[in-house]
Amino acid sequence: MRGGGGGCIAYGHAAILVNERLAGVIGVSIPLGPMKRYAPHTVRAQIDSVLQGLGADPRTREICTEVMYDTDLMGVDSHGISMLPYYAAEVANGNLVPDAQPVVAHAAGAVARIDGMRTFGHTGAHLAMTKAIEAAQSFGVGIGVVNRSNHYGAAGYYARMAADAGLMGISLCSTANALQIPHGARFPLMGTNPIAFAAPVPGENPVLVDMATSVVPLNKVKVYGLKGEPLPSEWVADPDGNPVYDAAEVYERLEFGKDGGVGLLPLGGETFFGGGHKGSALATMVQILSAALSGAGQPGNVDGYQDIGYFFLAIDPAFFGAPAEAGEYVRELRNTIRAMEPTDPQRPVQATGDRDFLTREERSREGIPLADALVDGLRELCGRVGAEFTLAPQQ
């Protein structure tokens, strides 16, 4: 699946694997297997080396490497180094132009539209949020949108760009392939249409929200299939609304079959009383803001290249003249949440985003876990594109 918030080539915490249909790209069929820790600097170097082998220019490599490496540190394993085989496939089939440069196609006041030029989505997204941040610093708010783009990685990275500048940030993305069933419909239409939000806290990590608007991203379905476990009943449904439990079949049909016969349920599930209409509404909102404003494509299954759209919003709290600092409000709110009495005394309450930053600290010290089979596949990919193999175990 192209787009953000749910990758086609996904390696989650249980070592998710590359589908056999892409095995030809990396020269190996990747089975479920063990994982080892790799030195973070060698993971970064590996990403850069493969991107160079794919034909990316130095500026594209710089941005994509930083975003993907940061994503692996944050524990979003489906959107970091494991995406390289997918990007290689997209370059090979002509959907992704590795050395193209995104450009500002339109600018007016606090708004900018970026033409992604069909290159790596990370570069167009980075430029759009940069322009939104610059506008917010001048006007209090700034908006950047992108069309003619590809998969942009983890939505949360771009929201955190704004937080790093002392601003609140929102990152939205339309996605390719019909994956998510609109509430009450028989067939899927939307993608996983992610939402990310970050609010700065002076001297601390920001509050971070990063989520799909479907009940789960597609990569989690793949995990269940590879483990040979049935899906929970509230994840996937057929056209008659019946739950579908065969994870391997679901993944094959959604990712490659495009037959519209099954689909992910929206956040909240199938029923009105469970809140499924709310998840469907959020997905629709994300699609409109990401694609209608940028001029990107409609959702659904498309043969060949599909035009992906993004939406970024940056907000400078200082422009609102509130009697108290917004960052201190966010700090107090987060501390209140963390101090609440937990249902399990052994598991303190975490505020949104805490787990991501704890993972970052742990992986920075202990190394980034990669499946043995993924490493083998990356070694093969390096051979195919003439890239140096740099991965080295954490000492």
What residues contact residue 322 under an 8 Å CB cut-off, 6+ apart? none
Query: For residue 93, what are the CA distances in angstroms to 118, 177, 208, 304?
Result: 12, 16, 35, 8
Show the DSSP H helices in the chain as ranges. Answer: 23-26, 40-53, 58-73, 84-92, 121-139, 155-164, 218-227, 247-252, 276-287, 326-338, 354-366, 372-385
pLDDT at 29 over 50: no
Rounded CA gap, 147 and 332, in Å?
38
pLDDT at 227: 64
pLDDT in tens, 249-302: 898 888 777 777 899 999 998 877 778 899 999 999 999 999 999 999 999 988
Query: For residue 345, what are the CA distances in angstroms to 11, 339, 340, 342, 348?
Result: 31, 12, 11, 6, 7
pLDDT at 23 over 50: no
pLDDT band at 34 (very low <50, low <70, confident <90, very high): low
As a CATH number, domain 20-321+362-385 is 3.30.1370.60
Neighbours of 273 (CB within 10 A): 8
pLDDT in tens, 142-200: 999 999 999 999 999 999 999 999 999 999 999 888 999 999 999 999 999 999 999 99
Average pLDDT for residues 55-73, to the nearest whole number?
97
pLDDT at 243: 92
> 3-class DSSP state for residue 40?
helix
DSSP-derived letter for residue 201 is E
pLDDT band at 17 (very low <50, low <70, confident <90, very high): very low
By residue count, the chain amounts to 395
Whole-number percent of the chain with pLDDT over 90:
74
pLDDT in tens, 362-380: 999 999 999 887 899 999 9
